[in-house]
Structure 1
Amino acid sequence: MAAALIGKTDVGVKEFGRDVEVPENPTAKLMYYLDSICYVLNIEKTERNIRKLRDYQNYRRLSAEETDQLILLCVLFSPDVLLGKCIFPDEEMCGMDMNKFYELSAVSHRFLVTEEIVVGGQTRRVQKILFFRDIWLECFYLDPIKQYQSRIESIAATVQGRSVARQPAQQRAASAASSRPANAQQPPRRQITRPQTQQSAQRPASPSNCVIL
């Protein structure tokens, strides 16, 4: 899978770019997505092992734990979190490419951009602006992340279990006590329960344009 990393404007900003080949593998594609986001945001100093997680040509070298870390980072820096802040769907800005990167100052006169955004409780400095077509987003994020849906649920369950296990014993005891009937000698009242349905959250529609690193 070929993708272009190209950037140029007509306002005096230096043109830059290169062509890359991304393996046809969901892990490699997510690594490529993360690599692109690392190019957009300054996150190398806050995330451990980030260089290995960006090396999509060597995706086979990732351990199971490192793959979980990759998935968690891709969820943390998901497109819906960054959309309209440092990544934008725009076919015109992409030109003939799937995506393009621009200097922040080169697009500030056309788009509402900011130099810093908060993700995961940390302030991240915006280094570049990414424009993309829908096909880029589908190929390098939406489609591959779907293949790891069951794994994401498993990771979430594990994290939640660890969080509960770390609760102080007194807090767990108090929580258990509060759930007991007020009078232990009286049988609990019979309650009638009815099944409830919950509408799943829908992912925002894919942007109409895409860009990539």
Structure 2
Amino acid sequence: VTTTVPNNDIARCMYYLKCVCTTVECDDANILRFTNYNNYWALSDDEDEIVFKLCLALSPDVLDDKVFFHSDALCGDSNNEFYEFSQVRHVITAVRSIVIAGRTRQVNKIMTYTLSWMQNNYFGPMRRLADRFNPQRRLIRAMAEADCIIS
């Protein structure tokens, strides 16, 4: 299945969350509402920040080599691919459950990804959003870009 994600940092983070919820049991309506990436534009600034914080909590550090696996070969012609356990059990060792925020979650599928997929849908957007949601970083960046000299 091919999907088109809007070229927007919040939309890409929402798509990342959608991928997390495809792999890991995600029955929390408060999280699921932030996976409809085509409607990213309808979120308030506060909701955008919630998406950012959810992505921080569900970072690749938490999921890599458990339910997310970097594998160009298993992605084929795609940048990411989802598999049932039975399809990859001889190739990848995945966990059947994972603890997230102190709660054990069932793993439904695993996802393989390319580095470019992770860069486009997590690392790049999260780096830019960190500037947006961190006033100190925003101020430092603005001062550096202003090229202003006070004598």
Structure 2: how far apart are the matches of 1:25 and 1:120?
Answer: 27
Relative to the length of structure 2, the TM-score reads: 0.83
Which of 8, 16, 39 lines up with 2:22 in the alignment?
39
For structure 2, the 5+ residue unaligned runs are 136-151
2:85 alignment partner, one of 86, 89, 104: 104
CA RMSD in angstroms comes to 1.4
Q: Residues 18-167 of structure 1 correspond to what in structure 2 (within 5 A)?
A: 18-43=1-26, 45=27, 47-153=28-134
Letter in 2 for 1:76: A
Please give the secondary structure, in 2, of the residue aligned with 1:114. coil
TM-score under structure 1 length normalisation:
0.60
Post-superposition Cα deviations, 1:131-183, rounded to whole Å, max 9, x if no partner, equal 010110000000000011135546xxxxxxxxxxxxxxxxxxxxxxxxxxxxx
Alpha-carbon distance in structure 1 between the residues aligned to 2:48 and 2:5: 17
Shift of 1:105: 2.2
CA distance in 1, matches of 2:99, 2:63: 10
Choose 1 or 2 for highest CA Rg: 1
Gaps of 5+ in 1: 1-17, 155-213
C-alpha separation in 2, matches of 1:90 and 1:56: 25
Structure 1 position 65, deviation (Å): 2.2
Distance 1:115 1:105 in 2: 12
Aligned length: 135
Q: Which amino acid aligns with 1:34?
A: L
Q: Which has the higher helix share?
A: 2
